[in-house]
Structure 1
């Protein structure tokens, strides 16, 4: 009669192995070891692509490299110096005052905005500034929206030198700087002498508003 092997109790052994594995996993968690989230979980949580080293990499929007600078300017609401043309309007005389509209015109193909005061400086033929910067007339600025071809203006005013007896000089150009910009626009100055020193030499500039003058 053939001998038979005694039955092997595999079920208890398997249960013991599973329990031991569970105990080891719990101990690892308590010791500070945390399973890394799956890439699919990271992608869903942060909306990013995974980089080659496994770290999240920001998702970028493809752009035309040849026109990246132009695209950046189009998304910026402010009018930039290179998008504007400056001019000085006709003299608007007042009671002992000389008033000139300084006009900024949008020459670009997009709508942009201006807000606040333009910078202004009289410059002589040598390129040296004549007199101090104009003071800002008190006002509450408002945003001026300029579609292509439209203009905004600010008033440049000073007392007539014949009346004020201020020391004068004759500028070659007027430098106009749009609000929040560093680059200036040169405008030939053909309106004669301006005050550059003395008690009554103050020049003022107003905030920009829509149009080309009063």
Structure 2
């Protein structure tokens, strides 16, 4: 009788172990039996359709324009695909320079072969670093505030992102043929409106360069991309 009870108890333990093993197998799961693929933390969910309908509004157009036509000194200038925030090699974020953080000035003329060449200088007056990339907007103005001549054109060039620490400067070239040489119709501006890349508000600078061509032969004015320094 005792042997029979022992065999019964052993059989009960075996049944319980098998049942427990089955329960653990059903509940444990190695992840392969889940109903769908899991999304890893930090990865974007897969696209469910075609291209997105929205656009990244802060990012400028990849196709530069030749400045504004409404006399706002190219207020909506494009920098050729520059985001409003740039990440440096060290991983720190540097925001683009806004008009309110900059001071504009006109450097000394560097003439040559009948050509006048002035650097447009933007200096960071803020307490933090910011970036410039691309072309400035520019327009000559009379004392009465009227724009003189068409918007400047853009010389060919490859824009680079220029990081300005507080107090640092970047410059873009402004060039035109001397009106006395080209025989273009000329006028003497009172000021130059300068708009930083991707900004709407302009800075007004007293024009020190005398006459500029406004129409006729060789009347075009050209701008270059920003580079570090003052262009001196």
TM-score range, shorter chain: 0.5 to 0.7
Q: Does residue 110 of the first structure (1) align with residue 110 of the second (2)?
A: no
Query: Of residues 154, 165, 169 in structure 2, which corresponds to 1:147?
Result: 165
> What aligned pairs does 1:113-152 form with structure 2 within 5 A after superposition?
113-152=131-170
TM-score, with length taken from structure 1: 0.64
Q: How far apart, CA to CA, are the structure 2 residues paired with 1:118 and 1:91?
A: 18
Where is the helix percentage greater, Structure 1 or Structure 2? 1
Q: How far apart, CA to CA, are the structure 2 residues paired with 1:156 and 1:76?
A: 27
Q: Does residue 191 of the first structure (1) align with residue 209 of the second (2)?
A: yes
Q: How far apart, CA to CA, are the structure 2 residues paired with 1:107 and 1:191?
A: 25
> What aligned pairs does 1:1-20 form with structure 2 within 5 A after superposition?
none
In structure 1, list runs of 5 or more residues that go unmatched.
1-72
Shift of 1:191: 1.4
What residue is the counterpart of 1:166 in the other structure? 184
Q: Does residue 83 of the first structure (1) align with residue 121 of the second (2)?
A: no
TM-score, with length taken from structure 2: 0.59
Q: How far apart, CA to CA, are the structure 2 residues paired with 1:76 and 1:93?
A: 36
Shift of 1:199: 2.2
Q: Residue 119 of structure 2 contacts residue 172 of structure 2 at CA under 8 Å; is this kept in 1?
A: yes
Q: CA RMSD in A?
A: 1.3
Deviating above 6 A after TM superposition, structure 1's stretches of 4 or more consecutive aligned residues are: none
Shift of 1:178: 0.1
Deviation string for 1:128-164 (max 9, x for gaps)?
1000010000001000000000000000000011100
Deviation string for 1:11-64 (max 9, x for gaps)?
xxxxxxxxxxxxxxxxxxxxxxxxxxxxxxxxxxxxxxxxxxxxxxxxxxxxxx
Q: Does residue 93 of the first structure (1) align with residue 111 of the second (2)?
A: yes
Q: How far apart, CA to CA, are the structure 1 residues paired with 2:208 and 2:161?
A: 30
Q: Secondary structure at the match of 1:212?
A: coil
In structure 2, list runs of 5 or more residues that go unmatched.
1-84, 86-92
Q: Residue 140 of structure 2 contacts residue 149 of structure 2 at CA under 8 Å; is this kept in 1?
A: yes
Deviation string for 1:179-200 (max 9, x for gaps)?
0000000000121110000021
